[in-house]
A and B are shown apart, each in its own frame.
Chain A
């Protein structure tokens, strides 16, 4: 049962990917900020950090699900914007919230069907839906505004026993993702399908009697639904619907997932890696603000740190 610390940190000989290094980086950044700034290690800031990281964590966990099967979902950003737009339609929450998830699931279904039934490459399929959903969002809500149901706003801004609600969102979402990936047969099947695809044998899992198509479609549905959760959270945070709020989420989620050591070719990756990857990105943004780094150099520093972390995550195989 014993595995060396190195193996755990490097993620070798497991299917969890190389998540140790980003964890180390997250810890180092936190340590540096604690020493350098007065404000970082305050509960107020740490709770801020959780709330800031939350939409990315949620959406990235959805992205993780499709990345594990060797796919990619470029439509998450649009789905997020779309969700906020629908939520701001001014209808009662009891109507809007189910509607939001139904619509997101439909988008995921279209992605999944196009990819599995019609052999469309995931990048093409999800880029197309990205455009379509963004177009619809722009019709619904040309500019930001509208009224988000109060319950949504309260659900992200309140607190319970001194612990702000975003912390609970995080707990619930991570628990759900954990159950999905590690606490069910479906999760194992995702890894199986991804492992087959990564090793070039698309139908490997099918020969074991695992229905790959249905599972792949479901993965895209799950990803969209996670994006919708992120959208609900964001709608509460920006208190409005906004056609652009999800912009660049597709790249950020993929970055967070890959930063956490998950391999984009599928089959190798982990939930905790993805959470760590998202946290590193949020830490960078929060940390550079607190350390008063000029906005003119922030982008370069962010890129440099990304490159440094990823540059050390050398893998066995070349590829995406």
Chain B
């Protein structure tokens, strides 16, 4: 075993309970043992006899394709689901996790994959929900709660007002609050289910630093992410699941990226990113001197048929606001937008901007697939076909679009029992594919995509990249926004870097590096090329 043991290997930190007498394991104890866990939802098996051991002072990665069962396994450990069979031990003692409360009491704290903060509560209230400090007369001790929250946020480098409502926060801020909540619980087991899906590189660094700190304090941490580089940077051990079954557990130091992918996907992945092409067609989108806000600098860009162009930059620099200005969600202060050479009537009304662009064969794919994208309780068929229906008038007969839907399911390799499966019961990656499928099926020329692969496994990511490239090969164009710089470099033809509500740099993706982009994003106007 060449891997460096958990920090301070032999000297267990004080809050790690000692090995139970009679245990004959090696000296690094298993804090948690999940043994032969099985779980089925309705007819479909999500987990078959999966075992997982977690050690104190170690970061354990859980990998696998979308729908492999990672979240389900962790929800069982978090007390959300009860296993159909199998047992869970903590320090050798059997745990019966009937509810999330029970898991919390046992010292297991979780960042769930879906955002679960309560929008109508303040940050502090969310942080302490279920274990609020009590002051005089049984009332909640708000001053204590707020000050402790401020401290916890400060550890993550955040300066948010603890009494602010969560509904006023951005997605990334919410993600951090969830993480802070998880850490704050002072548990011995921390489960982080895709904590970085909504974070950019700089934020991921902050998070990694904190995770290492917690690991050094002797916590057992489960880390789920579809971003390979994070796994290799942060984790000690990795367990791979496939189709609900255990593929294997390895030391991260003993495995290469390709091996890991092969374990997950069951084959060698040919190439993650599709080849770029050079055939640029006619100009499809032209934005000139657009000022997103009253005080921001004007911004101009162009997009041609056959191109995939990215907007890169740090979190909250106005990329998203810009993209949503194009569909009328925000009203830009000045400037013109033309599509296929025709100027848009500005400002687009917020309530019908999407429809207006749809008539011009432009689609917008929102980032938050649960809130803004999908109809979770409705069938896959409805979710895909709605993009076609919405171009027609109310009284038109609703065509079944069976062929279109079936083709999409096939092209996109959507894993589901059938067309009428509710989207909500699919795994995250498959949900994302359904969402994209809606817009690919809708016969559009230009796609404005926010985060095309959020929470999507590496195999599906590759599929999505190829699908987008196929779309442009057929004459479409894509304007994409992503927090994953590597994705942008690999996928796109050109990259605009956004800083302070305006474009500060433009570069061909072939020449872009993470460093160059970050440089532009940080230094703003001074690095402007061209």
Contacts and interface: CB of A to CB of B under 8 A. Distances in A.
Nearest to A185: B132
Nearest to A268: B120
A192 B118 contact: yes
Contacts of B168: 13
A206 interface: yes
B100 A206 contact: yes
Nearest to B139: A183
B80 interface: yes
Contacts of A184: 138-140
Interface in A178-208: 179, 182-185, 188-189, 191-192, 194-196, 198-199, 201, 203-208
Given A15-B165, A185-B134, A207 B80 contact: yes
B104 interface: yes
A13 to B, nearest CB: 6
A313 B28 CA distance: 61
Nearest to A269: B120
B112 interface: yes
A201 to B, nearest CB: 6
A208 B130 contact: yes
B139 A205 contact: no
A2 to B, nearest CB: 12
Interface in A192-234: 192, 194-196, 198-199, 201, 203-211
Contacts, number: 82
A191 B120 contact: yes
A75 B240 CA distance: 54
A14 interface: yes
B116 interface: yes
A260 interface: no
Interface size classification for chain A: 20 to 34
Contacts of A195: 118-121
Contact of A208 (B129, B137, B165): B129
B99 interface: yes
Nearest to B117: A204
Contacts of A77: none
B125 interface: yes
B121 A188 contact: yes
A236 interface: no
B139 A191 contact: no
Interface string B364-399: 000000000000000000000000000000000000
B131 interface: yes
B120 A207 contact: no
A201 B114 contact: yes
A249 B101 CA distance: 38
Given A13-B168, A188-B129, A188-B132, A201 B116 contact: yes
A209 B101 contact: yes
A112 interface: no
A267 interface: yes
B100 A267 contact: no
A314 to B, nearest CB: 14
Given A183-B137, A195-B121, A196-B118, A211 B101 contact: yes
B194 to A, nearest CB: 15
Contact of B165 (A13, A182, A209, A210): A13
Given A14-B165, A201-B114, A267 B101 contact: no
Contacts of B140: 183-185, 188
Contact of A209 (B100, B134, B138): B100
Interface in A1-54: 13-15
11 contacts: A182-B139, A183-B140, A184-B139, A185-B132, A185-B140, A192-B120, A198-B120, A204-B116, A207-B110, A208-B100, A209-B104
Given A191-B118, A204-B118, A209-B104, 19 more contacts: A182-B139, A183-B138, A185-B132, A188-B132, A189-B129, A189-B130, A204-B116, A206-B100, A207-B100, A208-B100, A208-B118, A208-B130, A209-B101, A209-B130, A210-B130, A211-B99, A211-B101, A267-B118, A268-B120
Interface of A: 13-15, 179, 182-185, 188-189, 191-192, 194-196, 198-199, 201, 203-211, 267-268
Interface of B: 78, 80, 99-101, 104-105, 110, 112, 114, 116, 118-121, 125-126, 129-132, 134, 137-140, 165, 168
Q: Which 10 A-B pairs have the closest CB atoms?
A: A195-B120, A209-B130, A209-B101, A195-B118, A208-B129, A267-B120, A183-B139, A15-B120, A208-B130, A209-B104
